[in-house]
Every structure is written in C-alpha cells, then in structure tokens.
C-alpha cells in the first residue's frame, strides 16, 4: 500500500476541483501513526470528521489572541470576538443558502437543535392525538426527542418503512400523510445505510398535507450541496464536528416566522432584551435561543470549516465521495468473501458503507483493524431500530470525507481479509 501520511501540516489556499488528494496535507492528524507505527487510515468520518489546519488555526487564534466574551464588551478584543462569531454565522448561512444569517441558531450539535425544536415549537403546537411522521432509519437524536414529546402531549408517532435495499417506501409515506401530521421529520442521509432521501419531493408532499418538515442534515451538509430555500423545508439541523469543525458546534436553520413565533428554549444571559424581577423581554432572533456564553472558539471554527468547504466546492466534494463509495462497494464485494453490505447502490447513497463479516462480531472486526491503524465504527451507530429492521445486533461502518483516498479503501479490504483469516472464516 502506498504511503498514506502527509508531508506538511501548513494550511494552504483552497483549490477547487474534483481531485482532493492534495488536500490531505491540510489535515495534520494524517501525518501521525498509531502505537504500532502504522499510518492513520481514518474511515469514521460519519461519527466525527478530521479538522484541517485552517479550522484549527481559526479556533486557536481566538484562544491565543482575543479570548473574551461576545456581545457584551466594548473593548477591542471583545469586539473582535463578536465580529468573528457573527462572521461565522454568516458563513454557515451562506453554506446552506439561508435567506439571512439571523435564521441560523448556533447550538452544540444537531441533537441539541432537534431538542430545541421539540421543546420550543413542539410543546406549543403538538397536542392530544396529533401525529408526527418519522422514518425507520432515523438516528436516535431524531427519534427520542419526539418520543418524549408525544408521551407528554398524548400524541402519536408514525413511521415510514424502508425496503430491503434501504430506500424509503414513499407509497406508505403518502398514506401516512392522510393522518394530517403536524410534523414530518427525517434524515437527509442515513448515517448507517448512506441512503440519500428525496427531501424536496417528500417536503412537497408533506406541505400539501399541512405538515411542517424538519430535516436532520448532519450527514448531508458536509458532503453535498445543500440549499434550504431550494429544498423548501421548514427546519434544517446539522453538526459542526461532522463538517470539519470542532466538537461543540452546530446549527439550526428555520424560517424567520417560525423562529419569531417560538418561545425560548433556555433562559439566562444574552437571550433577553430587558429583565425585571417579575418579567423579561426576549432578545431578537437568533440570540433569543442562545442563552449564556457559547463555545465561541468552536463556532468560529465552524465558520472556518464552512469557508473551507465552499472554497473546495460542494459539487466537487459530492463527486469525490461518490467515487469513494462506488469504489468501496466494488472492492469489498470483490475482495472480501462473504461480506454483508447494507444499503442502496452507490448512486443512491452518500459516503457510508456498513457491513458485517458473518460469524464475527463488529467489535472484534474494529479492534483487529485498529492494529493496522484502520479506524471504523462498530455498534448500532445510534440506529437501534434500524438494526432491528435488518435483524442485526450491530454492524461495522466505514465512512468517508474529502481526505479519503482509494488506498485507504484498499487497506480496509486487506484488513478485513486478515480478520477473516484470524477467525478462520
């Protein structure tokens, strides 16, 4: 296998184009080796992505040069912090073509964003007998908050089933819409199957039935062009740490009129305009939903990540990852006897490949691969109901990003053959 390390850790200007191999030098961690001296083969980007030097530098500059609180101070470094923080919001808004930065609410991750909508919009608009439509492929973050809501409000959850090759059954979705749900919430891209769902088509169907639409875009925003205006959705959530940004960063986008009508999610400093002993007046959006001091450096890093992705071009990112997933499906089927692969064909999926080696637990697979520096996820990937749908206790998962190269997929195939040899399969 060719050398997978990188020779430079210096950030460099982005160059658009489909060949992203040279960008590996932007990610310092790819120059490291594991305790066995093996170069890092990182195939767990669906869990969290690696960070380029430009993002590391942006977050580090805040902590080194102008570490202060935002929106409050009138001295130089406080104003610089506020400018950088709000500049990050503008970059994130541009990334998804939001009509205005004020419609971007900064949160810690997509999970918090969904909980914000469930608590603020949901508790005001969902009542006894009201239904919410989800799908069988949802991440726990887009399932459990709605479970809690309907239990509290005596509402109902309905689920769109999937086919054996991991596609939503839209004919059943159409039937469920006859129940006149208040909300339809589903993932843009499945984190286990990789399925890319038809968001615009389903949104049009849901709106025709009178429902609002929330999209979990955690696995979409880092990997393909996302235009919330073109999609026509009402809420769109995503995490920074899956899009090359630091952990503790994320965003909720929602239409202005929805945000203005929603009550605050958390109360405290900065989300208020005036406070008196017995009443308070709320701040304008988005700050109405951003109580207390946020993770300033992480959100500044998220803005830098948005700029990094836009400099590459999301079309180029999508094309690269489609190439990687198509190659992975081909190589794994050809070179790893007996492997079980889950999900649709390459033209219907993002950069995620979940699999099993029959008779070998995914945790054993991941542990043996780790000896060679190969990082894959093993478990239920926060999709236990989806695993139950396929009668699986767990699976292993390889997932890709802008820094993934074919040699890493070759290394995975070689590693899986070694796992099978060890277990005499």
Largest Cα–Cα separation, the chain: 72
The DSSP code for 190 is: -
Model's pTM, two decimal places? 0.94
Look up 375 and say whether it is catalytic.
Answer: no
Contacts of 26 (CB under 8 A, 6+ apart): 11, 12, 52, 53, 54, 403
Listed residue (398, 419, 375) closest to 193, CA to CA: 398
What domains lie within the chain, and their CATH numbers? 56-311 (3.40.640.10), 314-422 (3.90.1150.10)
As a 3-state breakdown, the chain gives helix, strand, coil percent values, each rounded to 5, of 45, 15, 40
If phi > 0 it is left, if psi is from -120 to 50 it is alpha, else beta; for residue 38 that is beta
Q: And the tokens for 17?
A: 């184009």
CA 315 – CA 225 distance, rounded (Å): 6
* Spatial CB neighbours of 109, under 8 Å, sequence gap ≥ 6: 239, 240, 241, 247, 248, 249, 250
> Per the structure block, which two tokens stand in for 403?
């820094």
Tokens of 206: 């849901």
Residue 180 half-sphere exposure toward CB, CA atoms < 13 A: 3
Pairwise CA distance, residues 79 & 240, whole Å = 24
- CA distances 262 to 206, 285, 295, Å, are 21, 10, 23
pLDDT of residue 19: 65
Contact assessment for residue 240 and residue 294, using Cβ atoms and an 8 Å cutoff: no
The closest alpha carbon to 218, from 253, 186, 247, 189, belongs to 189
Q: What residues form DSSP beta bridges with 349?
A: 195
> How much is the pLDDT for 274?
87
Token digits of residue 345: 């064909």
Angle at 338 between CA 333 and CA 341, to 5 degrees: 55
33 forms bridges with which residues in the sheet?
Answer: 39
Q: What is the CB neighbour count within 10 angstroms for residue 252?
A: 26
pLDDT at 83: 97
From the list 172, 382, 384, 413, the catalytic residue is 382
From first to last of its 425 residues, what are the pLDDT tens digits of the chain? 333 433 332 333 333 344 677 899 999 999 999 888 999 999 999 999 999 999 999 999 999 999 999 998 899 999 999 999 999 999 999 999 999 999 999 999 999 999 999 999 999 999 999 999 999 999 999 999 999 999 999 999 999 999 999 999 999 999 999 999 999 999 999 999 999 999 999 999 999 999 999 999 999 999 999 999 999 999 999 999 999 999 999 999 999 999 999 999 988 888 888 889 999 888 888 999 999 999 999 999 999 999 999 999 999 999 999 999 999 999 999 999 999 999 999 999 999 999 999 999 999 999 999 999 999 999 999 999 999 999 999 999 999 999 999 999 999 999 999 999 999 87
Tokens 């009508």, located at residue: 261
Beta strands in 283-413 (DSSP E): 340-342, 352-356, 374-375, 377-379, 395-399
Helix (H, G, I), strand (E, B) or coil at 55: helix
């Amino acid at each position: 296998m060719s050398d997978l390390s990188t020779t430079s850790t210096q950030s460099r200007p982005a160059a658009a184009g489909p060949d992203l191999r040279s960008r590996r030098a932007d990610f310092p961690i790819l120059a490291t080796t594991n305790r066995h001296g093996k170069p890092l083969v990182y195939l767990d980007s669906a869990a969290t992505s690696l960070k380029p030097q430009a993002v590391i530098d942006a977050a580090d500059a805040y902590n080194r040069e102008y570490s202060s609180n935002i929106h409050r101070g009138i001295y130089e470094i406080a104003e610089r912090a506020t400018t950088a923080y709000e500049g990050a919001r503008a970059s994130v808004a541009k990334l998804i073509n939001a009509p205005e930065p004020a419609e971007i609410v900064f949160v810690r991750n997509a999970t918090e964003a969904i909980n914000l909508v469930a608590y603020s919009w949901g508790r005001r608009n969902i009542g006894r007998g009201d239904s919410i439509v989800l799908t069988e492929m949802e991440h726990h973050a887009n399932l459990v908050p709605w479970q809690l809501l309907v239990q509290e409000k005596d509402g109902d959850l309905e689920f769109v089933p999937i086919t054996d090759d991991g596609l939503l059954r839209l004919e059943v979705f159409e039937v469920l819409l006859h129940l006149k749900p208040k909300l339809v919430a589903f993932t843009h891209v499945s984190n286990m199957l990789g399925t890319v769902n038809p968001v615009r088509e389903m949104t049009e169907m849901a709106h025709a039935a009178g429902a609002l639409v929330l999209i979990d875009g955690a696995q979409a925003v880092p990997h393909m062009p996302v235009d919330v205006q073109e999609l026509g959705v009402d809420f769109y959530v995503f995490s920074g740490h899956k899009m090359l940004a630091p952990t503790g960063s994320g965003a909720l986008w929602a239409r202005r009129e929805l945000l203005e009508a929603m009550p605050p999610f958390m109360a405290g400093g900065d989300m208020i305009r005036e406070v008196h002993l017995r009443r308070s007046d709320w701040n304008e959006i988005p700050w109405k939903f951003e109580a207390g001091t946020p993770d300033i450096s992480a959100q500044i890093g998220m803005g830098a990540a948005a700029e990094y992705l836009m400099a590459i071009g999301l079309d180029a990112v999508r094309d690269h990852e489609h190439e990687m997933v198509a190659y992975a499906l081909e190589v794994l089927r050809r070179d790893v006897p007996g492997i079980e692969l889950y999900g649709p064909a390459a033209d219907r999926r993002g950069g995620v490949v979940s699999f099993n080696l029959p008779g070998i637990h995914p945790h054993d697979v991941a542990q043996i691969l780790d000896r060679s520096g190969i990082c894959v996820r093993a478990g239920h990937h926060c999709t236990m109901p989806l695993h139950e749908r396929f009668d699986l206790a767990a699976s292993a998962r390889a997932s890709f990003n802008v820094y993934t190269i074919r040699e890493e997929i070759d290394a995975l195939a070689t590693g899986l053959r070694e796992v099978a040899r060890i277990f005499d399969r």
